[in-house]
Chain A
Amino acid sequence: GQQLNQSPQSMFIQEGEDVSMNCTSSSIFNTWLWYKQDPGEGPVLLIALYKAGELTSNGRLTAQFGITRKDSFLNISASIPSDVGIYFCAGQNYGGSQGNLIFGKGTKLSVKP
């Protein structure tokens, strides 16, 4: 079935650094979404992308829907401590399995010790 490969699995950030993560798939998707999960909470939608090639920003966050429709990236600029958490990408394909929505395994952001 469809799968998403999300990388990196984890990373450490230092305040002020830029962060980049991405998701790739062997299948095409109609929509790409990025969620963030804070400890003890459910994931919250950050950015939704609906068109191939689309580049969307939300504050310090920027995400792109790959032109091939098989990948997406999320960048966080000038990271701050509250950026820590788990970031999930998700791809949607109307008529697909799992309620049409496939999640990546997440990228865990932690603060550098």
Chain B
Amino acid sequence: GAGVSQSPSNKVTEKGKDVELRCDPISGHTALYWYRQSLGQGLEFLIYFQGNSAPDKSGLPSDRFSAERTGGSVSTLTIQRTQQEDSAVYLCASSLRARSNTGELFFGEGSRLTVL
């Protein structure tokens, strides 16, 4: 497709289980971001990938969270031993890394995670 694709769109899991969330960015976009949005709240930065540079992991809330980006394209966000406070919408965004439009992020529709 032409836009950022995320899967699953909805995920319900039990406390303590691991989950993987996937993001397919727009083809050719070198920058990829993950954000977390709790109910009615703002966008909490998690991690940022830019080309082959080391990712900016400064927003990951704990060591239970990790993300990778293979081949500069698809990214997977993994949450281990999920807790109820992990329940949120996880948004992925990508950007074409040109100076004139580096802030023009294109967001996916998000993956809604519910931890029971």
Contact status B42-A48, CB under 8 Å: no
Within 8 A of B (CB), among A72-89: 88
A31 to B105, CA, bound (A): 13
Q: Closest CB-CB distance, B106 to chain A, in whole Å? A: 8
Q: Quick check: is B68 within 8 A (CB to CB) of the other chain?
A: no
Contact status B45-A98, CB under 8 Å: yes
What count of chain B residues pass the 8 Å CB interface test? 28
A103 to B99, CA, bound (A): 19
Known: A42-B91, A92-B103, A103-B45. A98 touches B58 (CB 8 A): yes
B104, closest chain A residue (CB): A45
A91 to B14, CA, bound (A): 37
Q: Closest CB-CB distance, B100 to chain A, in whole Å? A: 7
Contact status B41-A105, CB under 8 Å: yes
* B residues less than 8 Å from A35 (CB atoms): 105
Within 8 A of B (CB), among A58-112: 88, 90, 92, 94, 97-101, 103-106, 108
A50 to B24, CA, bound (A): 28
B91, closest chain A residue (CB): A42
Partner of B102, one of A31, A44, A105: A31
Within 8 A of A (CB), among B26-71: 31, 33, 35, 40-43, 45, 48, 50, 56, 58-59
Contact status B45-A92, CB under 8 Å: no
Q: Closest CB-CB distance, B4 to chain A, in whole Å? A: 7
A104, closest chain B residue (CB): B42
Within 8 A of B (CB), among A20-62: 31, 33, 35, 40-45, 48, 50
B48, closest chain A residue (CB): A99
Q: Quick check: is B110 within 8 A (CB to CB) of the other chain?
A: yes
* B residues less than 8 Å from A108 (CB atoms): 40
* A residues less than 8 Å from B50 (CB atoms): 99
* A residues less than 8 Å from B107 (CB atoms): 42-44
Q: Which 5 residue pairs are nearest across A and B when measured between Cβ atoms? A: A42-B107, A99-B48, A105-B42, A92-B103, A98-B45
Given contact pairs A97-B56, A98-B59, A101-B103, enumerate 8 new A-B contacts (beta carbons under 8 Å): A33-B104, A42-B108, A48-B103, A88-B43, A92-B102, A99-B31, A99-B56, A105-B42
